[in-house]
Structure 1
Amino acid sequence: MTTITTARNRVITETPEPDDVLVQVILFGEGDTPGTVAGRSLRYLPISAYQECLDWAVAIADQMARPLYVVPLNHGDILNTERWTPYRDFIASMNDQQRGELRRIVVTTCCEIMRDCDDWHVRADAHDILTQLKVIHHD
C-alpha cells in the first residue's frame, strides 16, 4: 500500500497488478447521521484510467476532509466480494424485456468499442464479451 501525502491530506493506493481490470476512487465524508462517516464511491473505470484517477485524487485531496482511496480491482475482487451484489440483484430482478434491452446495449457498445477504440487490449476484451454472448462464433 502506498500513501501519497499532500499539503494537508493523503491519497492511499496500491500499484495495479497485471490482472487488475477496474479502478475505483473512494471518498469519505459525513454520513447521513450526524457524527458518522460514510464512504462514497465514484464510478468504476477501466484500469487504463488508473493514473488519471490517481492524479485527480492527488489534485483534489487538499480540498477533502478525509483521505482518498484509489483502488485497483481484479476479477476476484469483483466476483468474490459483496461489492457487486447490488448490481447482480438488480439484473436478477429484471424481466425478459429489460434483460433483452440490456443485452442489446452491451452488444452495441462492444461492437462500437471494437470499431472505434485505439487500445487493442480493450478491443480484445470487447471481443471476448461478444464471444461469451455468442454474438461472435469461432468455427
Structure 2
Amino acid sequence: MVAVLEPEPQDRWVKTVIGTRCLTVQHISQYQQAVAWAVSMADQFDPPLHIVPFDVNDLVKLNRHRLERGLALLTPDEQHRLRQDVVTTCIAVMRDCDDPAVRSEAYDVLLKLGVVK
C-alpha cells in the first residue's frame, strides 16, 4: 500500500517513509517520481510507504532541538554575524520579493528581532 499526501504550494521537498524510517528526501520537483517509485515497490514492503511533501516550517519543527543546540554553541561574535545575516536577508526579501506572503514573513522576523517597530 502507498499513502500519498498531495503537495501544498509552500512545500519544497518530498520524503518517502516506510514505518518510522525516512527512505529518501527529494526536491518537490521529484514528487511524481517518488510516487511512481513507491507504487512500483509497494509489493516489496509489508508496512505501507508514505509520500509526504513538506515545507521549511515542517523542517524547523522536526529539527527544533537540534537547531537550538547548534545556536547555543555559537560564540557571541558568531551570533551577531548570524543576526546581521538574517536582518540583511529579510530586508532584501522585503525589497525584492514579488510574493506578499513572503514579504510579510520577512517583516514579522524583523519585528521579532526588534529591527522595526
TM-score w.r.t. length of structure 1: 0.56
Cα–Cα, structure 1 residues 22 and 70, in superposed 2: closer, same or farther, change >3 Å? closer
Unpaired runs of 5+ in structure 1?
A: 1-8, 30-36, 44-51
Residue in structure 2 matched with residue 86 of structure 1 by the alignment: 66
Residue number in structure 1 paired with 2:78: 98
The Cα of 1:93 is off from its aligned counterpart by 1.4
More strand by share: 1
RMSD over aligned CA atoms reads 3.6
- Structure 1 segments (4+ residues) deviating >3 Å: 21-24, 40-43, 63-67, 71-75
Deviation string for 1:21-49 (max 9, x for gaps)?
A: 766522348xxxxxxx8415748xxxxxx
1:47-100 deviations in whole A, cap 9, x for unaligned? xxxxx93x631233323555421246868x92xxx6411111111111101111
- 1:70 maps to 53
Matched, 1:12 2:4: yes
Identity %: 23
What residue ranges of structure 2 are gaps of 5+ in the alignment? 42-48
Aligned to 1:112: 92
Question: TM-score under structure 2 normalisation?
Answer: 0.65
Greater helix content: 2
